[in-house]
Amino acid sequence: MIDERTRKILLAIIKHCNVIEQTKNYFGDSYKEFEESSIYQNAILTPVTQIGELVKRLSNEFRNEYTEIPWRNIAGMRDIVVHNYETIDKLILWNVADKEILKIKEFCIKILNER
């Protein structure tokens, strides 16, 4: 059973995952389009940053209980985006947006439905 604070964080993560999905639908679901468009890249970076920030707000107990999600990597991606923008690997960012976001969203929905 999760507390209200955690529930709100998970709902916010889902919201940002949906933004990434909508962005991909708008710009196109191809790495080539993503790689060539700084607007597309920035549109993905913002929700990725927000998800990383939200993950940092989850309790250590929660993150330790649900180890199937790479919480540390998600938070680390946020730090890279915020502090070292120029070092972001576009392919890694694309893989996060293309594959990992769906896993995170499905996990959050699963946990909320268990409640």
Q: Which residues are catalytic?
A: 78
Residue 17 sits at the vertex; the CA angle it makes with 42 and 5, to the nearest 5 degrees, is 120
Residue type, 35: E
